[in-house]
Structure 1
Amino acid sequence: MSASAAGLTPAEELVRVAWQTGDTAVLGPAGDAAAGARWGADRTVRARVLRALVVEAAAGELRPAELRLRGARVSGELDLGAVELPFALVLEGVYAEAPLRVSAAQVVSIGLLGCHIVVAGGFAIDASHVTTRGNLDLTATRVIGGEVELSGAQIGGNLVLDAAHVSNPGGRATVNAGQTTVGQYVQCREGFRSEGRMRLSGAQITGDLDFSGAVLDNPAGPALYAALIHVGADLFVHGGTRVQGSFSLPGARVSGIAVFGEATLGRLPDPMADGAQEASEYGLDIEGLTVEQNLSFSRRFTLVGPVLAAGAQVTGTCRFEGTVHPIPLCPGEEESARLPQTALDLRGLRADTLVLTPRHEIGGVVDVARATVRVLEDLRAVWPRHLRLRDFRYEAIDDHAAGADVPARLDWLARDTDGYAPQPYEQLALAYRAAGRADDARAVAVAGQIRRRGVLGPWSRVWNYAQQWTVGYGYRPWLAGIWIAAFLAVGTAVFAWQYPENLVPANPDEARPAFNPLLYATDWLIPVIDFRHGKYWVPRGIAQVWAFISVAVGWVLGTAVVAALTGLVKKE
């Protein structure tokens, strides 16, 4: 229909005249859209008339910079899908009970400011595949019962959701901006509220993604799911952000910093759930996240549930100073029946520096298995009771800042819930050795061998004891010299005492040297040395017993020394 045709209501005629003169069409104040259901005909515009007025303005010779409508109630579904508008379209304080559609449209910019849209399911705002040169701004708009659909949109400026409120509870979608491209920032600040599931998967954002002060509420599952999102600048989750549900960014890439500051994330278990609930339903999922600068969790960050950061890559520092609470028990569940849950999953993390100084002791398992960092900084006072350390690699560890000494670090290694493995001990010894702490490195290596004893069989355990007592597992080979000297001293005394009664000539008719008890003891004790005394006298009685003891001890000491010298006992 032609917008100039007869049949327009006074309100619609007011809009037509205002837009023809480039003015804002004002049907009422912008701040009372929540009461729009009670507005009368003086503030009501039919959606089909509004569409005709917009299309007519786009086709006219005098194209305005923007079309702005304030304080109106839109009756019916406003469909501007696939239209090309060479101006900005701004609806301010508008009330609607049907969807607003601009899907596949090309617009300079779109503003839905302080609007109130109530639907009974489906899309409330459909801007899928829309293209704008400027912003798509939904500041302070409230959507009830439907979804804001932005998938595939190409937004040249900012996507602004500041103070917006989208309520679509029951686990349904609130804002779907999957595969959306944003030329500048995505702003979900200043009380932005999502009641349902917000989705940003695959979005490409040139600037910041900012959730400062946002509230994301979805007890039925993910509050935010943003797999493979690319943030070209910084990610901010602070300023009092509250998330009830999981906050998931698996495989995301952040080109700047990622800051989790003053924020509370996670959700309580569903008391009506049938059976155990998966830990992945809660907490923060940043598995495979890449941060090209620093990733930080401040002391004002609180999470109920795990931080899942397996495979994350941080070019700078990964710093965790926040608080992680275990998922509360479900009704009827006993604490003693629950295995330690993973609270901080850093498996396979790659970072320059890892700082683990949480505000309180983390009540669960901290898993750094297969992680690789250059420097580890932690704090003994808040070490977790449960760790997983296998194949955790670091070049340096700051014990001074941690308030830890070697015995404390050995206790730290003993907290590994997977039990003994040699690599964590070897890694700590290697870091100490690189720092010039050779004595501490040896102490750790010896402690590792002692703990290894618990996983050995009976005979291997005996050999382990022999290595410890004789050569200190190759780190104290001088112990063998002490044992040899002691047995030589005792042997010399025994043989001197037993000669000649229990040391009789092997061949009485053969010439032999004068008996020397020291040389005789040496021949029996050290198998690789032969002073040719042992063959001239045959021991009997006590002398024979001591000779057999000397042979056994000699072979044990000799084998241990050879193993130590050839590196079979220890690893450098």
Structure 2
Amino acid sequence: MEITDLTPAERRVWDAFPRGEGVDFRESPDEPSGDGASWGPERTVRADVLRSLLLGVPPQEGRVAGLKLYGAKIVGKLDLKYAVVDHPIRLRSCWFERKPMMYGAQLRAVVLGDSTLPGLTAANLRVDVVLRLSGCTVDGPLRLAGARMSGGLFLNDAVVRPSPLPDEAGEPPLQLNHAEIATDVIADGLTVHGEFRINGATVGGQVMLDRARLINPGGIALHAETLSVGTDVRGSRLTARGMVNLTGARIPGQLFLGRARLANPGGVALRASSCVVGEFWLRKSPTIDGIVNLRRSQLDLLWAEPSVWPPVVRMDGLTYRLLHPHLPAEERLPLLEREEDGYLPYAYEQLAASYRTVGDETGARTVQLAKLRRHRRTQPRHTRAWGVLQDATVGYGFRPLRAAAWLLALLVTGTLAYGLTPPRPLKAGEAPDFNPLFYTIDLLLPIIGFGQESAFAPSGWYQWLSYLLIVTGWILATTTAAGVSRSLQRQ
């Protein structure tokens, strides 16, 4: 392109580039770029001019060349496919007629903040410093699959929508799958109308999605399978309409979804199966609208109030060490009833273990008792009687004081009954003095003998009372031994 072909606006940009100076066409610093289609020739720059600058114009001696342009209307296609550019590119608050092409390019730094674009094709892009798309409005696919960035990616308050073009229909609006970002992905306040695809990506630092809005009802709002991060994934006050899919993710720090709103009515709202997470926070989040799948995941800490869980939770194989906030076991047990596959013994053992970890043996015993009661409901009716008896008498060994209460009640009954009407001696003149208390103890406890039972014989209904005391004593002794033995074996 001949220099004589340049318009006055382009001449300003051409002269400023070698010196690394900026050209600002904006009428005010906060002027939006959405109205760029109506801007006149005094603010219009051809994409070919920008390409020629980046690829062919050397810097002025002693200066660092760079493209710094604000509030421009860029017409034509900025084609940097496979280009190697050592100059920083800053095109802020600009309006692009066509989507820039940066496929396979090697760039120093790219800043397109607050600009309006019909899309961006930058798959397999290499960026040495940073890629900033904060505040951008992108009406088409933002293709960054396979990108490699030595710095970070910034998408703060950006808005990404699906393409209106028929040949791009159904394509995810935001594509970061299999990208490698050395530091952070900062996307606070990001809005995506459609699928945000970041599966298989590797992020050296954290992924920040605080206040983000991911809108794809009935589909996948966040597709982050096998995502690997160095520290945290944060989504405080995140709104996701559609599935949040974190299957196989590796998050050594926090997966923070405090106050997040997750909704996918009639489908899976949160799929976090086979994940390895340090701390998973759902603190103060409203009830999730949809199924939650946590199967086979490994968590060090799970922070979730009981109210956050939906009617169906899949947790077969879920392991966690600590459960917060610390609540009575009775408030946690209803969650285990929501398992789609029915009774899962492992889920009860896991919950009991979490109570033991914090030294709450009472809570652990409550969970173990609930487990046996739930197991009893899965048995045939004719085999439940023994379980009902153990539960009523000693709580399967986890409520041993119940046996003492039963024994005390029977002991008082027998003592009063035989004290009022003593039984006759079997051998007059040879029997010891009758003692109603020790006589009742002789009947109740088969392994203890005070000589009272063998010396006296009740009659009438007192004889039936003695039979009842003997049978009840044997049952209590047997169930107590079975329950205590089961409890000791678990410990």
TM-score by length of structure 1 reads 0.65
Q: In 1, distance between residues paired with 2:310 and 2:7?
A: 70
Deviation at 1:217, TM superposition (A): 0.4
Q: In 2, distance between residues paired with 1:253 and 1:530?
A: 75
Structure 1: segments with no counterpart, 5+ residues: 67-86, 94-111, 118-123, 168-173, 269-278, 328-337, 506-511
Deviation at 1:318, TM superposition (A): 2.0
Task: Give SS of 2:114's match.
Answer: coil
Aligned residue number for residue 226 of structure 1:
176
Aligned residue number for residue 289 of structure 2:
363
Deviation at 1:186, TM superposition (A): 1.5
The one-letter code matched in structure 1 to 2:248 is G
Q: Does residue 312 of the first structure (1) align with residue 249 of the second (2)?
A: yes
Aligned residue number for residue 146 of structure 2:
202
Question: CA 1:519 to 1:256, structure 2 compared with 1: closer, same or farther past 3 Å?
Answer: same
- Equivalent residue pairs, number: 464
Aligned residue number for residue 348 of structure 1:
274
The one-letter code matched in structure 2 to 1:467 is Q
Q: Does residue 425 of the first structure (1) align with residue 348 of the second (2)?
A: yes
Deviation at 1:359, TM superposition (A): 4.9
Aligned residue number for residue 152 of structure 1:
104
Cα deviation, 1:365-388, whole Å, max 9, x if unaligned, reads 344343333333334565545434
Q: In 1, distance between residues paired with 2:365 and 2:50?
A: 82
What are the within-5 Å matches in structure 2 for residues 517-528 of structure 1?
none
Q: Could you tell me which of 288, 295, 305 is aligned with 2:233?
A: 295
Asked if the contact 1:91/1:113 (under 8 Å) is kept, the reply is: no
Asked if the contact 2:69/2:92 (under 8 Å) is kept, the reply is: no
Task: Give SS of 2:172's match.
Answer: strand
The one-letter code matched in structure 2 to 1:133 is D
Q: Does residue 128 of the first structure (1) align with residue 81 of the second (2)?
A: yes
Task: Give SS of 1:283's match.
Answer: strand
Aligned residue number for residue 214 of structure 1:
158
The one-letter code matched in structure 2 to 1:446 is L
Asked if the contact 2:395/2:402 (under 8 Å) is kept, the reply is: yes
Aligned-pair identity in percent equals 26
Asked if the contact 2:67/2:89 (under 8 Å) is kept, the reply is: no
TM-score by length of structure 2 reads 0.75
Task: Give SS of 1:442's match.
Answer: helix
Cα deviation, 1:462-502, whole Å, max 9, x if unaligned, reads 222122122222222243344445556667888997956xx
The one-letter code matched in structure 1 to 2:88 is N
The one-letter code matched in structure 2 to 1:298 is S
Deviation at 1:212, TM superposition (A): 1.0
Question: CA 1:434 to 1:20, structure 2 compared with 1: closer, same or farther past 3 Å?
Answer: closer
Question: CA 1:522 to 1:221, structure 2 compared with 1: closer, same or farther past 3 Å?
Answer: farther
Aligned residue number for residue 447 of structure 1:
370
Deviation at 1:228, TM superposition (A): 2.2
What are the within-5 Å matches in structure 2 for residues 501-540 of structure 1?
none
Asked if the contact 2:423/2:458 (under 8 Å) is kept, the reply is: no
Aligned residue number for residue 121 of structure 2:
176
Task: Give SS of 1:305's match.
Answer: strand
Structure 2: segments with no counterpart, 5+ residues: 27-34, 163-168
Q: In 1, distance between residues paired with 2:469 and 2:245?
A: 60
Task: Give SS of 2:113's match.
Answer: coil
Q: Could you tell me which of 204, 222, 240 is aligned with 1:255?
A: 204
The one-letter code matched in structure 2 to 1:200 is L
Aligned residue number for residue 31 of structure 2:
none
Asked if the contact 1:153/1:179 (under 8 Å) is kept, the reply is: yes
Q: In 1, distance between residues paired with 2:412 and 2:3?
A: 120
Asked if the contact 2:394/2:403 (under 8 Å) is kept, the reply is: yes
